[in-house]
Amino acid sequence: MMQTKRPFEVLSRNIGKNVKVRLKGAQVFTGTFLGYDPHWNISLDGAEQCRNHRRVAFGKLILRGNNVLYVSELDKD
C-alpha cells in the first residue's frame, strides 16, 4: 500500500534545492529554496524571473504565499 505524503512534507524535502515557483498571475521564479511557512510564504536565494524571454535576477526574494500556485522540483531525485 502506498504511503501518504502530505504536501508540506514533500515541500520541505526541497529545502536547499532548486525549485520553480509559479504565481497566480503566471509569473515564474526559480532559485534555491531557502524556506517556507504554513501560509506558503517562500524565500528564495539567487532568485530569477523569466520575463519576456529575459532572465531578471533578484538575489534574495521573499514571495507572499497568498499568490503561489505551485512549487515544483528542478533537481530530480
- Residues that bind a second copy in the complex, under the rule CB under 8 A: 1-2, 4-11, 15-16, 23-25, 27, 32, 34-37, 40-43, 47, 58-73, 76
| Contact in structure between 1 and 55 (CB atoms under 8 Å) | no
Closest CA to 70 of 15, 31, 28: 28
As measured in angstroms, the least distance from the Cβ of 54 to a second copy is 16
Please tell me the distance from the alpha carbon of residue 70 to that of residue 27, in angstroms, as a whole number.
11
